[in-house]
A and B are shown apart, each in its own frame.
Chain A
Amino acid sequence: MSDLKNIRPFKVPHNYFNDFDKKLKGKIDLENHQSDFKVPENYFSKVEAEIVSKINFYKTKTVPLFRYILLVAAAILSFIFITFDTSAEDNTEMTVLILEDYLMENSTYEIADHNADYLSFEMINMDQSINYEDALELRLLSETPMNLNLFDDE
């Protein structure tokens, strides 16, 4: 009975074990069909970094916020600028009206007698962008004798 232990009833083809490695390798190659194509060394670790560098992950979040901040800042600046500009324009207009009235109401001699303090602070706001002396000078230099009421005294 113990002799039977060493008898192998099953047989293998000739050179089966010698060819086994080759056959197995061939099968593995067949299963890994794309092994014929190669990639540069470390390609897959490098390409990941390259792809990530092309994508701005926070773009969708930060850009609108940045734009929003910019828009708010622009709106505030525009408001300040427009308000300031408008008030400056209004004040200039007011100054011109006051000065026009002053020039209409007073003769050149009277004007000549007036000193710089003649026009009260209540009449012309000191905050305005153009001071009344400059406005007056401009007006006097640019107006015609008619506007200056040179003939009113006559």
Chain B
Amino acid sequence: MESQNQFINALKNTETQASAFAKLLADYKERLYWHIRKIVIDHDDANDVLQNTFVKVFQNINGFKENSTIYTWMYKIATNEALNLIKKKSKHHGVSNADWIETKVSKLESDSYFDGDELSVRLQNAVSKLPEKQRLVFNMKYFDEMKYDNISEILGTSVGGLKASYHIAVKKIKKQINE
């Protein structure tokens, strides 16, 4: 915690923020990218969201309340940014958020930045059909192997609620894949 405080102070200090931010980028860019990518599916969208996320992190670092870790705070920003992008794009195209994601997933096989096999495509299809919250929980638990405590902090849901969501999501996915 002490080292985190020092790091946050380095990010807030104009003298040291450039080097501290470079470290932040180096440490978190890939993790955040994969988290975002699984939400928005498309690489270009993930790239936009990743950049916006880091810009927002920089712009709001002075307002960062140190009652959470910077890691969960950044995940929260990335998640919100990703969901906002889906909302914006689906609204622009006159479709629902769920339809937007399902359409993206249906194009995965022809996506040059996706090389999953048939089973992988079926898994992504099944995940795309989940309600938004369950989809997020499933991605964070199954793919990112995050702890429920961290997911709880990011999504603002109780651990019990998350466990139930994940359980329901897994059941739905299994059913979907076996159909």
Contact = CB atoms under 8 A, between A and B. Distances in A.
Interface in A3-53: 33-34, 36-40, 43-44, 47-48, 50-52
Interface in A96-127: none
Contact of A37 (B18, B26, B54, B113): B113
A16 B37 CA distance: 37
A130 to B, nearest CB: 52
A54 interface: yes
Given A34-B38, A36-B124, 5 more contacts: A33-B142, A44-B30, A48-B29, A51-B29, A52-B22
Nearest to A33: B143
B37 A37 contact: yes
Interface of A: 33-34, 36-40, 43-44, 47-48, 50-52, 54-55, 57-58, 60-61
Contacts, number: 64
Interface stretch (B67-75, B88-96, B114-122): B114-122
Contact of A51 (B37, B51, B116, B124): B51
Interface of B: 14, 17-18, 21-22, 25-26, 29-30, 33-34, 37-38, 43, 47, 50-51, 54-55, 58, 112-116, 120, 124, 142-143
A44 B37 CA distance: 13
B116 A54 contact: no
B17 A37 contact: no
A54 B58 CA distance: 10
A36 to B, nearest CB: 3
Nearest to A56: B58
B26 A55 contact: no
